[in-house]
Structure 1
Amino acid sequence: MAGPLNCGGAVPVGGRSQFLGVPRDCAHDLARVWHDLFIRFWQYRAVPARYAAQAGRPRDGGGTMRIKDPEYPAAVEAAVEILRKRAQQGQTITYGELSAELATRGFDSIPPHRGVMTYLLKDVCLHGNEDGRGPMLSAIVVNKASREPSDQFSGLARSLPFSRPATWGWRDEQQQVFAQHRPE
């Protein structure tokens, strides 16, 4: 950080220009201090070491899977398997539970909210359903509090290739998923 503030002394009225009631020299020094503090914060913005160690991620906050990663297709396969098993049991699963279940299978870099989870669930819906006509398997993935799929799921259902009609409802989609995977 730069040296001490150079704001000493009284400022004569009509003397040096002022910025927000602070003499220009002092305002410049304050801006420099705030800038230095911001830079220090930015350098250390990463996950604290104790949390990074628990999550098995590097301190720089990295470690989240990306769709171009070589293990991504295997993560999609694992998610399909997990969701089919839940669908056979007639049960929903929360985003957090799915993330945790994937972690037990070695995919610990898929956080439950947004990001790669959104793409993963889209690819789960397309798995074996490229034309989008079949039930969307990710309909059984729900928010813990509301017990409903996210708004992103509804957006996905109305996009290509799924193109669900205006009368479509996620509850109907869930029931179709359960019916499709019900053991005979």
Structure 2
Amino acid sequence: MRADAARNREKVLEAARELFAAQGFDVPLDEIAARAGVGPGTVYRHFPTKQALFQAVTEARVAAMIESAALPAEDPRAALFAFLGRMAEEASAKRDMSDAITVTPELRKSLHATLGGLLHKAQEAGEVRTDVTATDLVILMKGMLQSLHEGGNPDVLLQIVLTGLQSSRKP
């Protein structure tokens, strides 16, 4: 890909991230093109459908979350809680986040593995309950994200999840 084409693609992705977050999936592609400072043809050249653009945006966001969790952490509980907090933060700021769970199977597997790894480290350290599985957390987070579409308060719901995760040895 030529350098100018790569720059335009990134401009389109950035504009789409902002507009999908603010307006949801219904934002017109022409509005995304205008925000990116490119013509509609440029958007269609890189992303033949709105769904393809949406998919690229959500996959990039989930990949960035996974990458951030790979940073070394001294406190495994804090790392797990921060990751869950970032998921909730993304959801409250971006109405399309619950759809990000429906990313490619490879990325979904990586998300689950990352969450499972963080959970396992926190469990080994005695920081969180040992009877909780990564699948349990995925289901809880999906429910929390879905509740945002129904008016749920992400801060309260996240606090309930985090409190429920705490080991009986922790305050």
Bigger Rg over Cα: 1
Relative to its length, the structure with more helix (as a share) is 2
TM-score by length of 1: 0.36
Relative to its length, the structure with more strand (as a share) is 1
Higher-RCO chain (CA-CA 8 Å, sequence separation at least 6)? 2
TM-score by length of 2: 0.38
